[in-house]
Amino acid sequence: MIYLVILLPIINLAPNFNFTIVRHDTGNIILQVTDRAHIGGETTGTTNIPYGFRYPRTGSDHLFFGGFCLTNSITYVADGHYAPNYRIDRDFRTVDPIHRVSRYGLQEFEATYIDSGHPTPKSLKVTQYSLASPDPNYDDGVIIIFTIKNLGATRVESLYAGIILDLDLPGGSPSEL
């Protein structure tokens, strides 16, 4: 298991999952994102949704699970990664469900969530914007931009943001990744 930290038609799930998945699949890459900070992979063993992250798009799935995270201390880590025993982490709550937007005429999605599910929330609102291009010159990636806004009355010191990825790297052809 390798962890990497780095600074889609819409699929509506049953209400008990309480998030929506979209899949960027317009180019040579497939990547799923949600409106709860989850990235790639099957978000639970019961969703049976394939293609969390594939590159090339006809290749193998390379990401078990991933998520956006915020932290400023050992006691405050709000993330969309899985919790112990592979439970879905619930630190972020959806404010504005993921939906299509059209800023550049590409495959673009936007969602907003807040850290209110964390035991000690800091009232941090995250707007997640992602886009993929079908243009063969730019179709090998997905851009994800996270904008963080403090809605609280208290200043948040030493805040760090990142992405946690539990990658499944192939043992075969190096051309797959």
Q: pLDDT value at position 49?
A: 57
The pTM (predicted TM-score) of the whole model is: 0.83
What does the pLDDT look like over 112-149, one tens digit per residue? 999 999 999 999 999 999 999 999 999 999 999 999 99
Structure tokens at 80: 């969309």
Whole-number Å distance between alpha carbons of 140 and 58: 13
What does the pLDDT look like over 11-20, one tens digit per residue? 443 344 567 8
71 located within any domain: yes
Residue carrying structure tokens 């394939």: 50
Closest CA to 111 of 126, 98, 92: 98
177 located within any domain: no
Q: pLDDT value at position 173?
A: 58
pLDDT below 50 — which residues of the chain? Answer: 1-16, 43-44, 46
Q: pLDDT value at position 42?
A: 56
Whole-number Å distance between alpha carbons of 31 and 90: 21
176 located within any domain: no
94 located within any domain: yes
Q: pLDDT value at position 106?
A: 93
Range of the domain at 43: 2-171
Structure tokens at 61: 């799935």
- How many domains are contained in the chain? 1
